A and B are shown apart, each in its own frame.
Chain A
Amino acid sequence: MSSAADVVGPDRTAPPPEGQDFPPGMAGLWQRAWLNIRTGNLGPLPIIVGLVIVVALFGLTATNFFTAVNFVNLIEETAGTAMLAYGVVFVLLLGEIDLSIGYVAGIGALVVAELQLPGSGHQLNGILAMLIAVAACAGIGLVQGSIIAFVGVPSFVVTLGGFLIWQGVILNVLEQRGTIIIQDRWINYTDLYIFSHWLGWLIAGIFTVFYPLSVLYKAIVARGTQIAQQNWRVVALRAAGIGVAAFGTVAICNHGRIISTPEGLPLALVIVVLFFVLLTFLAKWTTFGRHVYAVGGSAEAARRAGISVPRIRVLVFMISGATAGIGGIIFASQVNSVALTFPPGNLLLNAIASAVIGGVSLFGGRGEVRGALLGAALIGTLQNGLNTLNVSNGWIYIVTGLVLLFAVTLDTFAVRLQKRSGR
């Protein structure tokens, strides 16, 4: 279920240039698609194609890549990165950067682990512990964002400071305490809870009807205006694609079997998709989201329009902190503990790369939440596939780097084409 609600927001597609009116029917659809390709208006297409190629390639070469168990593994590995990447999208939309999220995720995991610790005297219910941890991470975002927005220190510097500080805090605590084991079942559920088969199907059904319903809702609410105009064939195709993805995902998950326990749809994926819908709504349907795009496009224009630019900046860094916290909890849940090795791998850089591969501009104002999900899926699949091929970590980094470079180069060309064709 890659993009359950990718266009729930106002339709931003520019009209065809002068004198281009498409005939109805399939012929018109192809003409439109071809025009979009020629003018560099690719949308998420390249990354979906890339994902298909990567999956096909590993499916053919690695023996244990194309298994249901590995598929569930992949989801559980990637969920946390995707959560962090969501926050990165908002920060990049402002044209800022948040380098601290890797270790803020670590703080989230640490807080949650500490608060659930049995016999510590401050043991809390797991859900409460998670809420407090996420709030703490949003608080970190509040402090860092305030320094950026009100004092005017560049975000690169502030969050680089945060990177070091939170790393230091984690080191101090964990060097003393060693690994903290997480026993609370609610916390461990975030990554590892598996839905029963029929619940999985039900969830797939809900996500499948969500997109057509959102389009229908928009068409009714905004009757007679341009945003309500939809190419119903495209909508039908997208809806079908989402349905296939959703039911396909559940089908594969349900099929898997680890030793004796049957597998199913992991909660982690549901969380990630729910946040995708929620954050897409926030970005595209609310005044706050509109202001984020405006500040990223032109902070001066936003300021003159009466938007409080510092307020938007602070809120965005709070979102970034909160999503990092949630991602951190998911990562901790994956291994039922917090250890000195946290955050795993290149978490920060993977999250930023996910958003950038997903087409979010580093210069602000351009990009969508779905980019983070697709980018994280591509990077996750790539790294997972290379792992199953027993490729060394060095090569995994090199390949990830090349894909990042390729994606951004392609995007740069696309933007140039768009400019040339005046769209």
Chain B
Amino acid sequence: MATNDTPLLELRDISKSFGSVQALVDVDFEVRPGEVMALVGDNGAGKSTLIKCIAGTHMADSGQILFEGRDVHIHGPRDAAQLGIEVVYQDLALADNLDVVQNMFLGREINIWQILNEAAMEERTSTTLSSLAVTTIKSIRQTVATLSGGQRQSVAVARAVMWDSKVVILDEPTAALGVAQTEQVLALVRRLGEQGLGVVIISHNLHDVFETADRITVLRLGRNVGVYDRRTTTQQTIVEAITAGRPTKVSGIPSTAEAQV
């Protein structure tokens, strides 16, 4: 990667344990503006825990989070949202019984003295959706229950983007989708990067990762294995890193290299 920008979001030496289980050990992670960073690893590698530390669902036991170079503390989802970090969860945090507009503004409704301003919300929803070229949704007043998986994912992503967010984290965005819908969502992910956002995509599916990501961070057993440039690496290398990669940092020994960046 040639960009020399300061990372939008940078995590240093993040550790987190649950009881006796060490979920994360001295993990480093970063994402730069306009890049799609993939976060991959086997089950239990610590991907979700890392994301939750960024999103404010968990607090890291130790380590440092830098946002646009500033040291920040994220104590809850609200803190993350205030910084401009939005997470789109795997199991789609949408309410089925509400329509697209209502879901887009859930928890952040435009209101005057608590009275909803439906017109403004509807307008902003349609501009956001069209700016992301989400055109398959027939009416933004249909309930989310009637949408296809890809459309639902698009709504969830659009909601994350709408709030002037700077970093969007997507947790397995294509896990439940068919081929055509997957393409639709992946195209959306790439567009987010093109619009200058920092995008983090977590996926089991290396095809998706190679389709979208600029760089790939590999975790294994809660430790960093390396950061790889998509254009200079192969799926084979990534698979090896996921299944048998050596940690780049071992406690007590100073970190050796930013492997193969």
Contact = CB atoms under 8 A, between A and B. Distances in A.
Interface of A: 10-15, 18, 221-228, 285-288, 290-291, 293-294, 296-298, 300-302, 304-307, 365-366, 422-423
A423 B144 CA distance: 10
B106 A12 contact: no
B183 interface: no
B142 interface: yes
Nearest to A304: B93
A11 B146 contact: no
A10 B91 CA distance: 27
Contact of B98 (A228, A285, A293): A293
A222 B108 contact: no
A298 B140 CA distance: 19
B12 interface: no
Contacts of A12: 99, 141, 143
Contact of A15 (B97, B116, B142): B142
Given A222-B119, A286-B115, A297-B96, A14 B109 contact: no
B116 A290 contact: yes
B146 A305 contact: no
Contacts, number: 104
B94 A301 contact: yes
Contacts of A423: 142, 146
Interface in B166-185: none
B203 to A, nearest CB: 20
A305 B109 CA distance: 11
Contacts of B138: 15, 18
Contact of B107 (A15, A227, A302): A302
A225 B119 contact: yes
B42 interface: no
A15 B147 CA distance: 13
Contact of B118 (A14, A227, A296): A227
29 contacts: A10-B116, A10-B118, A12-B143, A14-B141, A14-B143, A15-B138, A223-B119, A226-B141, A227-B118, A285-B116, A286-B116, A287-B116, A288-B114, A290-B98, A290-B109, A291-B107, A293-B95, A294-B95, A294-B106, A298-B95, A300-B91, A301-B93, A301-B94, A302-B107, A304-B89, A307-B107, A365-B95, A365-B96, A422-B146
A305 B118 contact: no
